[in-house]
Structure 1
Amino acid sequence: MSYGLERRMSWLGLALVKGIGPLRLKRELENYNYDPVKIWNLGESWVRTRFSDYAGKEYKRIRNEVDLLEYADDLKRREIKFITFDDELYPDILTDIYDPPPVLFYRGEIPDFKFSVAIVGSRKFRQYGKRATEELSSQLAARGVVIVSGLAKGIDRMAHRAALDAGGKTVAVLGSGHDYEYPATNRDLYRQIPENGVILSEFPPDEPPKAENFPRRNRIISGLSQAVLVVEAAKKSGSLITANLALDQNRDVMAVPGDIYARSSRGTNDLIKKGAQLVTSVDDILTVISGVGQEYRVTEELKSEDLPDLTDSENKLIKIFTDNIELNYEEISKLINIDIAELNAALVKLEIKGVIARDNGHNYYFKGLQNLLKPI
């Protein structure tokens, strides 16, 4: 066995040993130059001393009963892939957290996490939360932002579904292994997400959905995201756990304000009181994750002249904006040689079409051309 393969199998072996947690494992790896082969070969007594008697027992069982090469082949036959902390595909954004999982088991394709937002919320939702989730998720996904959530009932499900329906990418993080399609009501998403995204878990496939697994899952949801958006959440909610983990991981936390009389909004409204970014439109989110006027063209590959429904004046305006970050009215009028009335009409029309917008200081900035193809 080559050293590279031995290293990969050692990572896999460590991931299969119950009782070896990612935080303690990271600390031990730091003492051994991040060499999983050394850790894997230190033996049962070392594992018992450093982790627990239970971990030592499990380590012994895996060493004696599991052929790791056969195990990896079985995963491949079942179309379950895995990446280790060493792999190039391992998301860079996840290495920033204090306890990154050493191995991720997944179905689908790992996306680029340059722009990613977690959308989480209550399993029991109101029509208001449903509408906000569907609109924000679809608008973000249409702009190339990866939507991350936990494949639970309610808000999670709607976030994944809206992203898929918008033709975007979505990432579902499980609190179990891939053998369990939990909850059963999301079986359609288990089939569809791998076709345009990925379902992943740090747990081996045979790990059942247990209560203690979901906080661990939540840290990965926030860890894979530049920001976490909470749509609906009561005062005691798993979504608030995700928000707190996001703060620990130096991620931005955002919330959709809710009805002050609704229990399902008390958690989100409290987040806003404590300083979470208040979100009333997709622009609020894009401003946070990418900077006003600079990265709204996340997947922009279109040219204004390729699109219908634009006048000559509108085309001229767009060309000015694509070469500048922000412009005030005086700057625009100097750069474009058209009648003032025609200029005003073009600015209003492009604002209505969602191509440009104004910030609080009344500067204009470019948002993107995607809205001309897909109304929001």
Structure 2
Amino acid sequence: MVNIDMPELAARLAFLCAGGRRAPRRELLQKHRSASAALAAGPQAWRAAGLIEDVCIRLRRGADPEVWLRTAEWLQRPGNQVIAWHDPDYPAALRTVSSAPLLLFASGDATLLQDPAVAIVGTRSASVGGRALANQFAQRLASAGLAVVSGLAAGIDGAAHEGALEAAGSTIAVLGSGPDLCYPAQHRDLHARIAAKGLLVSEYPPGTQPLRDHFPARNRIIAGLALGTLVVEAAARSGALITAQFAVEAGREVWAIPGSVHNPQARGCHRLIRDGAQLVERAEDVLLSLAPALGRVVAQPARRPASRAIAAIPLPEDLDSDHKTVWSALGHDPIPMDTLADRTALTPARLSSILLSMELQGRVKVTHGRYLRTPG
């Protein structure tokens, strides 16, 4: 754990608040081995490193007092720390990314930043099947000793974090807000569990609100912390594709899971595969791809029960509660009756009645005893 005094904290925040290009500021921290020494080096040294005059002026002003106070208070809580570029605890994988952040605000087990990791990302509007896949892949990869990195968003991200925790494995959530704030609010409990059993990390200081521009930016950190990025479901235009592009630029692996041609949330994955991403169908495909980088063959874990985690998806407004439950449990690919019964907890008689009603309404299609939502 990195221990810093208040003058050093103020100097680190001064470099953060000064803004401007990251590379010159990282160079100053690396050269002087502390933010305090880099700040004391003065304007001549700052300019020599490449800082422009406006940035030098802001650097002389120091840290924003409110940012300093919030961060100082946050650091009083157990498990919280500020990791700077020059610290030995700064993640080695992230150092190779040209746009790597100057500081990381971490809450939880910061040693996870040094572990081999895989990013699992995808759409917020995930299908039932997509969430189940993200959960299952995360469980398997976490059981194999890999940290699962994602962005704590609704949909695929949340399912990936849940899967890693269910496997008693490691997970890292990269936030688009300060580490003390949870977004979306529905993940407040998940946010707390990751802080207790995994790691929350952000380039934004405590108290920073989740602004729209923060989320594309945090995707480079997700990709940079991982050996590769797995995209489970993604629309043709999706933030997950931004993460995949960052992974490509960083020289990391990109994997994509194919989906039904009727599922609009599979189009981004199909595009990635056309562009050269590896098509994967099982977590073992990811592990085999990573074996050379890991220098070992990952052992098979003990069998675990399949996850029942499912996501909320758009529902027709005229359905009653049981019909909505069945609709949510259906995916874009055929699902057998026993799987639907497991997901819905409805009796076979009630489930059969609802499925027949939906089939007659044209909402559900049955093929060889398997059910799926009707395309369109």
Common topology (TM > 0.5): yes
Contact 1:15 1:203 survives alignment (8 Å):
no
Q: Which residue of 1 aligns with 2:336?
A: none
Deviation, 1:268, is 0.6
Deviation, 1:251, is 0.5
**Residue deviations 1:63-117, cap 9 Å, x none?**
584796x776423223431112222222111111112222111110121544210
Contact 2:176 2:214 survives alignment (8 Å):
yes
Q: Distance in 1 between matches of 2:67 and 2:203?
A: 20
Deviation, 1:20, is 3.4
Contact 1:122 1:155 survives alignment (8 Å):
yes
Q: Which residue of 2 aligns with 1:301?
A: none
Q: How does 1:222-371 map to 2 (within 5 A)?
A: 222-291=223-292, 295-297=296-298, 367-368=299-300, 370-371=301-302
For the residue of structure 1 that corresponds to 2:123, the secondary structure is coil
Deviation, 1:22, is 2.5
For the residue of structure 1 that corresponds to 2:302, the secondary structure is helix
Q: Which residue of 1 aligns with 2:147?
A: 146
Contact 2:17 2:64 survives alignment (8 Å):
no
Q: How does 1:20-35 map to 2 (within 5 A)?
A: 20-26=20-26
Contact 1:15 1:204 survives alignment (8 Å):
no
Q: Which residue of 2 aligns with 1:132?
A: 133
Amino acid at match of 1:183: P
**Residue deviations 1:140-167, cap 9 Å, x none?**
1112110000011110011001111111
Deviation, 1:35, is 6.2
Q: How does 1:46-125 map to 2 (within 5 A)?
A: 50-51=51-52, 53=54, 55=55, 58-63=58-63, 65=65, 73-79=72-78, 80-110=80-110, 111=112, 113-125=114-126
Amino acid at match of 2:20: I
Deviation, 1:286, is 0.2
Contact 2:16 2:102 survives alignment (8 Å):
no
Q: Distance in 2 between matches of 1:213 and 1:51?
A: 24
Q: Normalised by the size of structure 1, how large is the TM-score? A: 0.70
Q: Which residue of 1 aligns with 2:159?
A: 158
Q: Sort the Cα spacing of 1:218 and 1:177 in 2 relative to 1 into closer, same or farther, 3 A.
A: same
Q: Distance in 1 between matches of 2:305 and 2:66?
A: 53
Q: Distance in 1 between matches of 2:19 and 2:294?
A: 47
Q: Sort the Cα spacing of 1:24 and 1:283 in 2 relative to 1 into closer, same or farther, 3 A.
A: same
Deviation, 1:8, is 4.3
For the residue of structure 2 that corresponds to 1:50, the secondary structure is coil
Q: Sort the Cα spacing of 1:43 and 1:9 in 2 relative to 1 into closer, same or farther, 3 A.
A: farther
Amino acid at match of 1:130: R
Q: Distance in 2 between matches of 1:292 and 1:63?
A: 40
Aligned length: 298
Contact 2:15 2:59 survives alignment (8 Å):
no
Q: Which residue of 2 aligns with 1:200?
A: 201
Q: Distance in 1 between matches of 2:137 and 2:189?
A: 22
Q: Normalised by the size of structure 2, how large is the TM-score? A: 0.70
For the residue of structure 1 that corresponds to 2:286, the secondary structure is helix
Q: Sort the Cα spacing of 1:112 and 1:6 in 2 relative to 1 into closer, same or farther, 3 A.
A: closer
**Bigger CA drift: 180-189 or 16-25?**
16-25
Amino acid at match of 2:231: V
Q: Distance in 2 between matches of 1:97 and 1:7?
A: 28
Give identity over the alignment, percent: 34
Higher relative contact order structure (alpha carbons within 8 Å, sequence separation ≥ 6): 2
Q: Which residue of 2 aligns with 1:170?
A: 171
For structure 2, list consecutive stretches of 5 or more residues without a partner in the other structure: 307-376
Amino acid at match of 2:74: L
CA RMSD of aligned residues (A): 3.1
Deviation, 1:128, is 1.9
Q: Distance in 1 between matches of 2:66 and 2:214?
A: 23
